[in-house]
Structure 1
């Protein structure tokens, strides 16, 4: 080493006893934030994943809601405008008119008619594992009941026993199941019910039904129904309904639209009836004039032997359609029979594949017999490897029956072909008759046209008398359905996109708050870079974190595992001590920490061992007389004679020295716990002990008590030539460094260095040396621990 003084031999009382001067307070400590993000990123990911999982479960197990809507147009027409008169003035605007119609639709009286039109009184629910599903259109059975005696809003659970009977109860937990037959009335709670199967009957799914009274149904429809003006200028109204069954919402909206349209028509008809009664009085005068043309039409009908030529045309068209249908049936039968012949020829015919509806009933036995014989032949053929007499007989029987069936099918084909020819001839005759009708029809239509012209002339004369009366008959609303009720294919809720986005935002906010709390309350020292930012005290060594399994088994690890990374780290520490001013005169080294659990004793024992391995005579003193632990590293069970005995004058130090398994390494335990450890360390016997040990040993290591808990540690540090302060990663608080700075300034400590203990391994090596320095050939930290930073 050069003779010039190194930077670590200078007075560090001012230089290293405080934070670096260039460290200015910041609103946000980005390095600290980066460290917290790195440590807690997986937790943020898990929080977001959890909220997304909750969103998924909510979507998965929540019934979806559907919406159906219809648009109606309200037409206001004044009859006075038809005759050129100005319509009567009205006080109400379009908004008032539409508002009145909206209130009419939402009125309980109108909704009662909607409920009476639809089968809403009985609700059918299929019982699911996590949620129930309402069946509205495809119900398995229909419930009939006596309306004078019924238990409203009570659930009855039904399980089908078979196709004819079922079990029912009102409390499946208690049982009390009773068995009844479909289509027959039975008593439940003193009331009569009957269950009739429908075409959608199924016997595998359990379900329940409940009956609702009219008032509850009105409230149900009213709460889910929305009626509002859509466009004031166009006088349109939009009707929407939301529920969990798409067929149900469609039928309710459809019923509301149709009933409202019907109501409007009834109002219109009522007004028209008043007009018709007035016009009938005037029309009596025209009966004589019109009777002449009526007589002519009657004579025409008698002469031509037809009431209405148009009806004759329709009748002939109907007959031709019927004949076409017959021809289609004949062709279909011909095709089916030919297909049966092909399958019969290939021996692939099965009686299940035959449409017996096109064949007489007595042919079914032939085909079933052929199928059975063919099946028996295949079974016999699989049993016998060679052609036997039995196989030949069965084959002959099959051929005989096949010929019989072919003959029958041939006759059937011939009959159908003849029937087809007869039907075609009949069709041709009807078509010829159809072509003669238009000429007669034109003659009658000509007379009717004159009748209509005269009638229109009469009406135009009479209209002048009735203009004012019709105008005063009133202006009534008419309704057109612009958009009929739709069957919703996609649900309106829950919205998958919105829920997932909301869950992600909530997860992000929770993660942000979580990381914010971790930032506010984070006080541990995580890495070497963070430690260097907190202090300018030299950090002379970085000791890797030891596996918990190895730590429990190991005492002096540098001796037990000399090839481990930790052993190499202690060798580096031994080398670093030469650079911080440890010379022949500086023989006393103290090892301390702020609190227990930072690895002070572990560092002391292994440092002493590694120094002893370099041919130096080393002794380690356990000065922690309150909570001694160093003797366990050397497997020393008895602790009766030690430092407390020496400092109290009860024993000589040479009598308390224990030799270890490591050459040149001796150990003095703490001894029996005294009542006054601090007074013993401040006495002259401790100074005398240190001086005598310096004469006897090359190095004296003092394993001191934590300086942050008791004053014993600082007393020992003052007596040492160089102090090593242990800081444990992910354990030591930031405030410990501030306390260390204050202690250095207060006690004028000159030579002090930091050892950063239990640093996480990055599992990065240098090729060959990685395997050499691996602790035991296995990963030191499990994958789970590395992921969660624990």
Structure 2
């Protein structure tokens, strides 16, 4: 990983500084939003019920993921059905298992205590237990007032008194109320009973239950359940694992019972056939005098017996297939006794039959509590409809295979029958009878063996799963997480405050920031002047050191950036519209230049609205217009000022009717040429460029133009058009002065620029101006 480059660190620091500078003046707004957000987060946490999570772990035998050792052990359990881990995950989350858990734990009847902010679930301390006779018929009810009377052994629910430990009919179903080992609270006014239909409780559990495999190659499942009461989530998971194990055992026991029933029925028939054959042999020997078969006959019986035994086994398999076919075709989505698949070599058939049986069982269970048009019931019906053709197709495939094998065995039997014709008549008849006895004896021995194996498996049935870790709660709530809630609330508060600030500033069509000027125009900004709250238009004095005076001194130094010196001395000051402070800037800039010991003349060339006379307390006198008309000479018009002996003023003079034409008569350039010989600097205050073109006319005769933009006053549209206007009319060597920068946000005396230090007025040392860094 590469180290962060110094340039990138500088950019990050600069971005942070910009953000801090931009938003710090609004700190009270951010503080208010932060306080409100923290209060809101606290309220949310106070009213929200914390959720806990419990986890458990179970090991399942898997058909695809088992080891050779597990397969060897599996052969000892003839009733074990192979598991597919993905299927078992769905089984664990099934409605049938969860409904059993809900009914077992009585989760349909919950006692709560009404609180000021939220209700408290009394699962771990409930003094009352509710047991429904038929939970599926429960009618849900809103919280019901509850009061127990231990003296009379009764309970008052919603104004009706019911006896304890006795089944009673209630508006919510037939129920029995009983006491628990937990004491009855002294104040029962807050006790409530919440009755909910088990189906709704099951749906809620399904949403909060998560079953996942620990890895792709693992047969271990992790179970997690979220609940407001950690003890309840632990009980639900433990009960669910127990119910799952019981379901596996019940399936095995059902299969074993059906197999035993089938075997015993077949044994009875075979026993009867054997008895008949034995009697037939005795009768035949007595009547014919035959004692035994010859050596050749015994050899024939030995050869034919194995073939006959295979015929018997296949006939039994055909009988099983016929039973399965009859079961599938005769059922109408109603669960019955599932037929045994004993002797059938294909395990898929047994799995399909068991799946059909489970689906029909779930269908029959839900049919009693839901309508025929229920989406769940329709989905189950579709699954049953789809699985039946698969079973029938499997049966038909196995039947065809068996028929082919039976045909081969029958052909072999015909060969044996032909060979039997060569024996003497009496011996041939006796051999035929003995052959029938051998067939039945083989079938009888096979059935006895299967009966013992089935009985042994039935007696030692174990589930195909094992609980590794019982359910255990985390102890700490998983939601809401206090740190996350508080952090999220504070982030939201900061973003909301930033949004308000940005919206406020984006809706403002006035220039607010130096950065806006830099984005809208390519002209350089060579100075920033803060707003002046005093009414004195002259802010620079030789005996005072103020912050604004320092800014004008910096502006004076920046003139060198645009080439102003004692040889290039003409400075034109203008703005877009009236009121932006161009005359204020021109006056104080001229004073600042004069304080350096240079001779400076200030020209009030705003022939439409002159104001410098008033700023310098000089009475009206002949001036520029008189020179332009050729009525006066310069030495008759230049006036000294009381501010500084090096500062002189050339007033406007009488206002003309046609100022633009007067400026364009050629005398203006002659005026400036004559002043060049007399003064070190010439500062020209002219009219705004928005309403009139005087500045554009004078600019070619000057060395630099200062374009004044006022904070929160100059419309952005003028700055947006500045570059385009400058290309057309060309303000010579133009630069911008950002004037009247006011405090931002809620902070007083903090400005949108700054040098990181403050200035003290000599005449008022206690007055300090705190500045923000850029």
Normalising by structure 1, we get a TM-score of 0.48
Choose between structure 1 and 2 for higher RCO, CA contacts under 8 A separated by at least 6 residues: 1
